[in-house]
Structure 1
Amino acid sequence: MKTFLIDDDPLANYLTKRLLRIEQFSTTISTFESAEAALAVLLQQPPAETPAVIFLDLNMPLMNGWQFLDALAPHENLLRGHCHIFILTSSLALTDMEKAKTYALVTRLIHKPIDRLEIQAIYSQLQGERPA
């Protein structure tokens, strides 16, 4: 399974990546400190190489998480069912939770920092969706 981490905080990326490796969550983990860079790589991927999971921070300079999701909207049909986006945020705003529900590609909003139990639950959920 391929995973993208998109967060402008290098320490957050490092810690999340390390936890994903400990939990053997992904075979490939790519980190991006800007949503623009992640978007450019994502849109160049052949469909078979699309990441199964994207962990997306909301609060980033230049292009924030919402703008990243808006930029993906024209590609939603190609990504739906193949790419699950989990928003990672330190925000406790209910408006963020409600807004996240309006994006078909967003599977869930998770409060930072992500922990082992959350990663295990996501992994189990994704394994349950795969055909036997």
Structure 2
Amino acid sequence: MTIYLIDDDSLGNYLTEALLRLENFASQIRTYESAEDALVELLRAPVPPRVIFLDLNMPVMSGWDFLEALAPHRPRLLGQCHIYILTSSLALSDMEKARTYDLVSGLIHKPIDREEIRAIQAELTAEDHS
């Protein structure tokens, strides 16, 4: 399984990637500090990543902008690619806005922990067996 980790925080990426590897979450983890770079790669990929961990607050292209850019590609991605928003914000408005995107599978408060990773693994496994 391939996943994308999109966050402009290099230290946060390092720690999240280390935890994902420790939990054997994915065979391939691609890390992007720029949502634009991730978008280009995603649109080029013959098969979308199974999971995207997406930060909201990034310069140039925010996580919200990234989600808007995916709208025309929704039919290709829906059911194939699960997006989990990573945020340090506790704003209820972010949670409400995230619910308006059907590509978004969940919102996770940073830092991500083992229990959240295991819960996502369980959801994906259940989906594979249904």
What TM-score do the two structures reach when normalised by structure 2? 0.98
| Match in the other structure for 1:28 | 28
2:40 alignment partner in structure 1: 40
Letter in 2 for 1:87: I
Unaligned runs of 5+ in 1: none
Which of the residues 96, 112, 115 maps onto 2:113?
115
Q: Could you tell me how far apart the structure 2 residues matched to 1:106 and 1:88 are?
A: 11
The DSSP-based 3-state class of the residue aligned with 1:21 is helix
Partner SS for 1:69: helix
SS at match of 2:112: coil
Q: What runs of 5+ residues in structure 2 fail to find an aligned partner?
A: none
Misfit runs of 4+, over 4 Å: none
Rounded Cα–Cα distance in structure 2 between residues aligned with 1:30 and 1:101:
25
Aligned with residue 100 of structure 2, among 99, 102, 106: 102
Report the Cα offset of residue 45 of structure 1: 0.6
Equivalent residue for 1:72, pick from 62, 70, 73: 70
Q: How far apart, in 2, do the equivalents of 1:9 and 1:113 lie?
A: 12
User: 1:128 is matched with which residue?
Assistant: 126
Deviations 1:10-49 (A, max 9, x none): 0011000000000000000000000000000000011xx2
The equivalent residue for 1:17 is: 17
Provide the aligned C-alpha RMSD in A: 0.7
State the distance in 1 between where 2:59 and 2:78 align.
26
Shift of 1:50: 1.1
Matched, 1:8 2:8: yes
Does residue 51 (structure 1) correspond to residue 49 (structure 2)? The answer is yes
CA displacement at 1:131 relative to structure 2: 3.4
The DSSP-based 3-state class of the residue aligned with 1:81 is coil
State the Cα distance separating 1:121 from its structure 2 match. 0.5
Corresponding residue pairs, total: 130
Q: Aligned with 2:31: secondary structure?
A: strand
